[in-house]
Amino acid sequence: MSQEKPKDPNAGKEPLDPKTHRRLLKFLNAARTPDELAFLPKNEIPPEEPDPVVRHPAFAHELAEREPITSFANARRVLNARDDLSPILGFAHIEELREAVARFDLGKWLDRLIELFGPATFGEWEDIGPIQTPDGDPVEVVHAAMLRTGWVLFIEAACRPNSPSLTPLWNSLNRATVEFKLPTPPTDNLYCSGHSFLSDGQLLVVGGGGDFGHTPHPNFGWLFDPVDGPDGTWSFTKDSANNRTRMAVDRWYPTLVTLGDVPGRVLIASGRPTQMEIYEEASGTFSNLTTVGGDRQFSALYPGLHLLPGGEIFFAPVGFRSGGSAPDNYAQNEPSGYFEFDNTNPNQGSWKNLGPNDRTKGMSLLLLSPTFPYVQVMVVGGGDLARSRTYQIINLSNLSPVWQPAANLPLKAGQVEPTSRVNPNPVALPDGTVFLSGGAPAGEATWLFNPNTSVWSEMDEAPRERKYHSHAILLPTGEVMSCGWQNSTIEVFKPPYLFRGPRPVITTAPDHVHFGESFQIQTPQADEIQKIVLARPMAPTHNTDTEQRIIQLHFHCCGNNTLQTVAPNGWVPHATAPAGYYMLFLIGARGVPSMAKFIKLAAEH
């Protein structure tokens, strides 16, 4: 009688990707007691305590709060099997682990751990390829904008005096191939310009001029229309008589903020002059803004400016004083504060200081919520070495807002102090979390921050260093694109929510809605939807972005496949959600987002 062959523990198993493999074996080989393997580890770091305790991210919670996944006896067997192989090195490969697990019938335990240390917990980076012209020539870029067509517009780092900038387009929705287009470029150099979106979806770009002694600084304005012609069209700003219009002053490293007025206006600040200007979308003209009590100097260029729901402009002391990515204390950076427009004169206003918080070479972003705190601004990194290892939040829902104490950025296992973040790239995701990458060496962890709990979760390690001249933007796929900093390669980060089940599907939704209008969305997953959000497309440069905001909508299910929701309505000005194009996301079970549909939010005429 022939003897039955032992069962192959690897039969039918998918090969484990290298990163999940490394994380899993590192965790198992570092375990010293059975309880570390008997309970489900958590990839979370809780808020700081008065006397912070350095914890491994996998054991952020107390033992009683963790889910048991096997017995202490089984966990002890795994530890013994590991030490029998090598008391120093432990398991060297997943096959050794699977063979040991098969002897103890712990296959389900191992499958659970593989999921925990895989993309469903840590997310995953994907290499897309270099930004290039259709002829294959690589292009180094320092500006990016998420267009309503699904294409991303780049502006190159053109250091050639008096030469136009190449502006390649990348199709973020086509992953079968890497697809680029090259519109006819503007006749001016747009490097080091500022930009934001108008209510019709065009991108307004002003100033810049390239990096060749920084003189002369241009005062021009340009518009990019993504749907005019097969590749989009650049045109200079002009008035109703078709005459070219220009700013009153030259600007290099300016910040633009699209306001909530109807018809639209754009605030233009910094770029070396202290005088702020307004671009009038309806007339195509520029006009000076009078500041009662004195202008801000904005010595740190590309200041962090954000439109608040009340129409005020919040100033976060981030921005640039010098190039490079070394931490730097800049005492001349002005205190944070907000600019409030006069009720009777839209071209006049005044500043109110809120307190110092130098974060030069950091980045700021606006956080909105349907519940208290309704409006917050988060700043990450920047400043001197100690400050660059921290982040801070200010709650602007209070009558007398103050910055919360600086809190340390999270620690990777084995770190004594957090990584310094200079020129980081935080991105607000549709599920309400914030993804943090950039501003650190290659191989550093990226992180996910939950503003509701102040909990950080470790994500997949960054493949490349992204610092000065880098940027990251939210794509309509729910992914994050990263590029810049001395190379032209595009990378895309897939957050964990993309590995937690199928996406909900938007079957139909309107192409445009008016402020405050009730509208319907058709989806087969109507009863599973947890959130409906509008995400304003980003347009960052030099770790500065005034556009990104996630707006959660109220909704209810009114049929098997129908959701009823209401468009934002900030009355006048429409500062919660300025007029323009947004990415509409449905957030389904386990936080999985749909593919976004671009929808235009407009005033009714």
Q: Of the residues 499, 520, 539, which one is the last residue of a structural domain?
A: 499
pLDDT at residue 64 above 60? no
Mean pLDDT of the 440-444 span:
84
Mean pLDDT of the 320-336 span:
86
The pLDDT, as a whole number, for residue 61 is 40
The pLDDT, as a whole number, for residue 481 is 97
pLDDT at residue 31 above 70? yes
The answer on 421 and 286 residing in a single domain is yes
Q: Which of 241-255, 318-332, 393-407, 491-505 shows the lowest per-residue confidence on average (mean pLDDT)?
A: 318-332
**Per-residue confidence band for 360, with pLDDT thresholds at 50, 70 and 90:** very high
The pair of structure tokens assigned to 352 is 């109110």
The answer on 144 and 110 residing in a single domain is no
The pair of structure tokens assigned to 452 is 């509701």
Residue 349, domain member (yes or no): no
The answer on 303 and 226 residing in a single domain is yes
Token pair 């150099």 is at which residue? 189
**Per-residue confidence band for 162, with pLDDT thresholds at 50, 70 and 90:** low
Tell me what the pLDDT averaged over the chain comes to.
Answer: 90
Instruction: Classify burial at 163, counting beta carbons within 10 Å of its beta carbon; exposed 0-12, middle 13-18, buried 19 or more.
Output: middle
Residue 507, domain member (yes or no): no
**How does strand 375-380 pair with strand 124-130?**
unpaired
The answer on 558 and 455 residing in a single domain is no
Residue 378, domain member (yes or no): yes
The answer on 334 and 424 residing in a single domain is yes
Q: Which of 72-86, 155-169, 435-449, 457-471 shows the lowest per-residue confidence on average (mean pLDDT)?
A: 155-169
Burial per residue of 549-584, b for 16 or more beta-carbon CB atoms within 10 angstroms, e otherwise: bbbbbebeeeeebebebebbebeebbbbbbbbbbbb
Query: What is the per-residue DSSP string for 268-328?
Result: EEESS-S-EEEEETTTTEEEEEEEET------SBS-EEEE-TTS-EEEES-SBSSSSS---
**Per-residue confidence band for 490, with pLDDT thresholds at 50, 70 and 90:** very high
Q: Of the residues 499, 522, 544, which one is the last residue of a structural domain?
A: 499
Name which of 74, 117, 72 is nearest 94 in CA terms: 117
The answer on 521 and 489 residing in a single domain is no
pTM of the predicted model as reported, rounded to 2 decimal places: 0.93
Mean pLDDT of the 71-88 span:
93
The answer on 146 and 95 residing in a single domain is no
The pLDDT, as a whole number, for residue 316 is 97
For residue 57, CA distances in Å to 146, 446, 459 come to 34, 13, 11
CATH number for the domain that contains residue 185: 2.130.10.80
The pLDDT, as a whole number, for residue 165 is 87
**Per-residue confidence band for 157, with pLDDT thresholds at 50, 70 and 90:** confident
Mean pLDDT of the 351-368 span:
95
Q: Of the residues 499, 528, 552, which one is the last residue of a structural domain?
A: 499
Residue 291, domain member (yes or no): yes
pLDDT at residue 503 above 70? yes
The pLDDT, as a whole number, for residue 226 is 98
Q: Which residue has the higher pLDDT, 66 or 497?
A: 497
Range of the domain at 387: 138-340+354-499
The answer on 259 and 152 residing in a single domain is yes
User: Using one digit for the tens of pLDDT, what is the confidence trace for 214-271?
Assistant: 556 689 999 999 999 999 999 999 999 999 999 999 999 999 999 999 889 999 999 9
The answer on 521 and 476 residing in a single domain is no
Q: Which of 8-17, 146-155, 277-286, 489-498 shows the lowest per-residue confidence on average (mean pLDDT)?
A: 8-17
pLDDT at residue 207 above 50? yes
Token pair 């469903």 is at which residue? 120
Residue 449, domain member (yes or no): yes
pLDDT at residue 431 above 90? yes
The answer on 333 and 300 residing in a single domain is yes
Other C-beta atoms within 10 Å of 501: how many? Answer: 14
The pLDDT, as a whole number, for residue 9 is 46
User: Using one digit for the tens of pLDDT, what is the confidence trace for 176-196?
Assistant: 999 999 999 999 889 999 999
DSSP code at position 559: S
The pLDDT, as a whole number, for residue 32 is 92
The pLDDT, as a whole number, for residue 412 is 82
Domain count, the chain: 3
The pLDDT, as a whole number, for residue 555 is 96
CATH number for the domain that contains residue 547: 2.60.40.10
pLDDT at residue 272 above 90? no
Residue 31, domain member (yes or no): yes
Mean pLDDT of the 569-595 span:
94
Q: Which residues pair with 438 in a beta bridge?
A: none
The answer on 485 and 556 residing in a single domain is no
User: Using one digit for the tens of pLDDT, what is the confidence trace for 102-120?
Assistant: 988 898 999 999 999 999 9
The pLDDT, as a whole number, for residue 214 is 52
Percent of the chain with pLDDT over 90: 74
Ordered strands of the 375-380 beta sheet: 363-368, 375-380, 390-395, 407-408
Residue 94, domain member (yes or no): yes
pLDDT at residue 322 above 60? yes
Residue 124, domain member (yes or no): no
The pLDDT, as a whole number, for residue 241 is 96
**Per-residue confidence band for 53, with pLDDT thresholds at 50, 70 and 90:** very low
Mean pLDDT of the 15-24 span:
90
pLDDT at residue 504 above 80? yes
The answer on 517 and 491 residing in a single domain is no
